[in-house]
Structure 1
Amino acid sequence: MRTRSQHQRRKRIVQAAAALASRGGVEAMQMRTVAERAGVALGTLYRYFPSKMDLVVAVVGEEIDLLESSIERRPPAAETPAGRAVDVLMRATRGLMREPELADALIRSLIMADVETPFGDRLARLLLRVAVGDRHADTESERPERSALTGALAGVWVHELLEMLRGRRTYEQIQQRMEIVASRLLFDF
C-alpha cells in the first residue's frame, strides 16, 4: 500500500516522463532526465519503474485513466453499441492527438514492448462496458466473443491511429473507418 507521498512521487515521475516524451518521443525519456525533471533520485525512479518500458506503460495507463474519467463524466449518448464504442475511440484519438509526439512514442513503444502492457485489455474492457452498457457488463463473462470483438475493434483503432501519425489518415477518415468496422463487429451486441 502506497502512502500519499509515494503516490504523489509516482505521479510526478509519470508526468515528467510524459512531458519529455511529448517533446522528443520515447528517446527523450532517459531515466536520468526523468528523475531530474521529477525531482527524485535515480535510484528512487528505478524503485518505481525498473525499466523505461515500465515507465511507458505507466504513462499509457495515465492516458487510459483520463479517457475513463471522461467517459464517466460524459457517457456516450449514441443509440447503438457501435456508436458508443466509436465515440470512445474518437475521444481517445482527440486526446492523444493533442500531443502527437507522445501518442506516436507510446503507440510505437507498446507495439514493440517486451513487457506485458495492459493498454489493449483495458481499452477493450472499456469498449465492452460502453457498448453493452454498465448495467450488463457483469454478465459479459458468459459471452467471451464480445470481449474478443471489442479487442479486435481496439486493435483496428491502434492501426488506424498509427496511419494517422504517419500522415496517411485524417481524423475524419479514421472516424468513418471506425464507424464501418464497429457496425460490423458489434452488430449483434
Structure 2
Amino acid sequence: MAAVRPDTIWDTIERTLAGVLGLLAMALGLVQVLGRYFFPAYAISWGEEVIVYLVVWGVMIISSQLVRTDGHVRPDLVLRLVPPGGQRWLEAFNCIVALIFCAGMIWYGWQIVDTSMLLDERSSSGLQFPMWIYYSALPAGGVLMGVRYLIRLFRYLFVFDPKTMTVGHHIADHELPANLSDLANR
C-alpha cells in the first residue's frame, strides 16, 4: 500500500473545508430566500451576515491552494522571457516578497483579532456573533499561505529542477516523488 503524503492530506483538508463552507453558505442562502418569499414568518435576519463569514473563511483557507498551483499574482510574462535559471531566482524573490506580505497579514490580522477580543466586539444583528472569529480568517489565511510560500522557496533554493519547475508547468500529484531525496536524484 502506498504511503499517504502529508501535503496530500493537507490539500484534501483545505479543499474539503473550503467546499463545506461554500456549501453551507449556499444552503443558508437558499433557506433565507425561501424563507423570505414563501415563509416570511420563519425568515432569518442574520443569513447574509453568516454567509459573508463562511465565504470569507473559505476564501482565506483556499488561498493556500492558489500558492500551491501558481494561482496568485506573479510576473508570469517576465518569467516566461528568462531562462530557467533566471526563473528560479525570480520565483525565489517572488516567494520572499509574498512571505513579507503574509507576515503582514498575520501580524496586522492578529492585531485586529486581539482588539476585537479586548473590546468584546459583536455583530450588530440579533445573532451577536463574536467578530474575533470572523477576523481570525486573516491571520489564518496568512499562516496557510506563508507555509506554502516557505515550501516553494525551499524548493526553488535547494531542490530546483529546470525540467519540472518552469513557469506554467504544474506537476501532477502522481508525478511527484515520495520524498525530497528522490526529487534531488532526478
Asked whether the two chains share a fold, i.e. TM above 0.5, the reply is no
Q: Which has the larger radius of gyration?
A: 2
TM-score by length of 1: 0.30
Higher normalized helix content (fraction of residues)? 1
TM-score by length of 2: 0.31
